[in-house]
Amino acid sequence: MSTIADRIGKGSKMAVSSAEKKVRLLRIWLRVRKRWHAYNGNKKEVYVWDMIPLYRKIWEQTANDLRADFTELAEGVWEIRKGDRKTRICGYKIQLDDPVLLDMAGNKSLCYDLMRRNGLPVPRYASFGFEAIDTARHFMEGAEGFFVVKPDRGTSSGLGITTHVKTYRECIRAIALASLYGKKLIIECLVPGESYRFLVLDNKVIHVSRRRGVRVQGDGESTIAQLLARNRSLKVRTDSGGADSGLVFDRDFEATLRSQGLSPDSIPEKGRVILVKSFMRNGGVNAEVRTVYDEDVTDTVCDDLREKAISAVKVIGSRMAGVDIITVDPAVSLEATGGVIIEINTTPGMHHHYRLPNDKGFQPVHQVLRFLLSE
């Protein structure tokens, strides 16, 4: 697999026409590979549309808690009634925002542009068609650090997204993957930090979940590398999905530390807690890694992040959305950390906010269903 990809992707300074040919060849190879994995049942991730049994459980239990009637209309389609009020739900999709708004939210470059015009922090980015690969090359030449390449429209759950891209050769492969999902693409500067999902309903943040990263606490004497080496209990996922005995000093590690002005040789002061990796996985370039939120941090995030999440939802006019924010420290403003808003999800998966290991018993899905039945 890597031999074919390497052969196709060689050459970091190539003519645009040659790069286009390589992208087209890679697209064919990736499409065949994906179909082969699907045919053999080798899916590495479980996506939201695969979760019909879980969503039935979520909505049926919530309906019972609210003493509402739950009826299955078809597989994955349900009706919930309470008195003369009713709402219909299809898996993770609810009846709330109109089709125009949903299409707008699915257009990532449009959302970035609207948020930027309204003073909200978004990554530095460029949009382009996969035939205009020179746009991506020029963007990389004018920026430092790592990059993200993703489809501009119509995807979710990490599909088509490649992070921690460093070289043009890697960018070519990332473009080929993203272009399987659409002709318009985005390249943006990677902003290190943990991913936070803010669930906004009726202009209020009702819940926040986080994909927890890796942290160390300084003792005033040891380097970050030494602190990590002593933590024998630390295990992160490998690229193949298995468990590893320890953390690898990979690109995510490098980018996360560098964004805080640190390195593996830095000695943090006693008691200082430092984020050293944005998520629990080892690897270099990360392709189609689905974000899994595993921690309730509703009481941890500061007011600035809440206000920016609400403002992002107001920008597109949604009544309910999940806002994805990247930051290394949720207790301070995005301006202070260099954090950004990376997406507005108008069909947010409620499983991201359902029975997390550390939740305090509050389930936001109850609040959502009450709102739907009050319409």
Question: What percentage of the chain exceeds 90 in pLDDT?
Answer: 69
Residue 237 lies in a domain: yes
Phi, psi of 172, rounded to the nearest 5 degrees: -60, -45
Is 342 among the domain residues? no
In a domain, 313, yes or no: no
Say whether pLDDT at 149 is over 60.
yes
The total number of structural domains that make up the chain: 1
Comparing CA positions, the residue from 367, 214, 248 lying closest to residue 298 is 367
Q: What are the helix and strand counts (H, E) for the chain?
A: 12, 16
Q: Is residue 175 part of a domain?
A: no
Q: At residue 315, what are phi and psi to the nearest 5 degrees? A: -55, -40
The DSSP result for 3-49, as a single string, is HHHHHHH--SS--HHHHHHHHHHHHHHHHHHHHHHHHTT--SS--GG
Residue 8: the pLDDT is 40
Residue 5, pLDDT > 50, answer no
What would the pLDDT profile of 293-324 be if each residue is shown by its tens digit?
A: 989 999 999 999 999 999 999 999 999 999 99
Distance CA 363, CA 356 (A): 9
Q: What pLDDT is attached to residue 6? A: 46
Q: What is the pLDDT of residue 36?
A: 54
Say yes or no to pLDDT of 236 above 70: no
**Tens of pLDDT along 173-217?**
999 999 999 889 999 999 999 999 999 999 999 999 999 999 999
| Position 233, amino acid | S
280: its two tokens:
């629990």
What pLDDT score was predicted for residue 62?
A: 97
Q: Of residues 229 and 80, which shows the higher confidence score? A: 80
**Distance, C-alpha 15 to centroid of its chain:** 33
- 187/128 Cα distance (integer angstroms): 8
Going by C-alpha positions, the residue among 272, 252, 278, 254 that lies closest to residue 264 is: 254
196 falls within a domain? no
pLDDT score of 137? 94
pLDDT of amino acid 124: 98
For 283-294, what is each residue's pLDDT tens digit? 667 776 778 898
With respect to residue 68, please indicate whether it lies within any of the assigned structural domains.
no
Q: Is 19 a residue whose pLDDT tops 80?
A: no
The answer to whether position 259 is within a domain reads yes
Is pLDDT at 334 greater than 90 in this prediction? yes
Residue-averaged pLDDT of the chain: 87
Q: Are 318 and 347 in contact (CB under 8 A)?
A: no
What residue has token string 């990554």? 123
φ, ψ dihedrals at 148, nearest 5°: -120, 135
Q: Give domain status of residue 59, yes or no.
A: no
User: What type of residue is 81?
Assistant: R
pLDDT above 90: residue 340: yes
Give the structural domain span for 226. 214-277
> What are the angstrom distances between the C-alpha of 43 and each of 36, 239, 294?
10, 14, 21
pTM for this structure? Answer: 0.86
Going by the DSSP 8-state scheme, the letter that residue 81 receives in this structure is E
Looking at residues 117-139, what average pLDDT do you find?
Answer: 94
Torsion sign across C-alpha atoms 320, 326, 332, 333: negative
Averaged pLDDT, 98-111? 94
Per-residue model confidence (pLDDT) at position 14: 46
Cβ neighbours of residue 343 closer than 8 Å, sequence gap 6 or more: 108, 111, 323, 324
DSSP string, 155-179: --TTTT-EEEE-SHHHHHHHHHHHG
Q: Residue type for 163, please?
A: T
- The span from the CA of 103 to the CA of 123, in Å, is 21
pLDDT digits (tens, 9 = 90+) for 27-61: 776 766 666 555 455 555 546 667 899 999 999 99
